[in-house]
Structure 1
Amino acid sequence: MSFDRYFDTSGLFGTVADGTRMLERLIDIGVDEVACLIDFVDDTDAALAGLGHLAELRRTWAAMTAGE
């Protein structure tokens, strides 16, 4: 249950569209900065590979909010 709650309501998990929805909810409640916690576990390469998805979300968000 804890994982499901965290996954659904408290982190940037899933697709870029999922991430943008989370960022929109955060903006709605007054959040103006988001940080990233990376868990490198045993596979550093896999963790670093995931940063490409985060970069895609950052680019998408920047394009969506350009000019605001």
Structure 2
Amino acid sequence: MPVPEGVEALQLTLGGLADGSQVRALPIDPDGMPADSNASYHCYTNYTDPAKCNATADRCTDPNPVSGSS
């Protein structure tokens, strides 16, 4: 989903996950490249230390908008 112009912060909150499931959101920059680490151990639910990464409520400050997005 493209980020509209003027957005100062974007937050994704995951809920309703099955017990023990491992899910993550991987933000992609406008050029199609990962904006966060895409390592297999980085920021999954039920896997990552919540003190290092909250996989159920990730926030991106000053996201890069995609030109012409609506």
What is the TM-score when the length of structure 2 is the normalising length?
0.29
Between 1 and 2, higher relative CO (CA 8 Å, sep ≥ 6) is seen in 2
Q: Which has the higher strand share?
A: 2
What is the TM-score when the length of structure 1 is the normalising length?
0.30
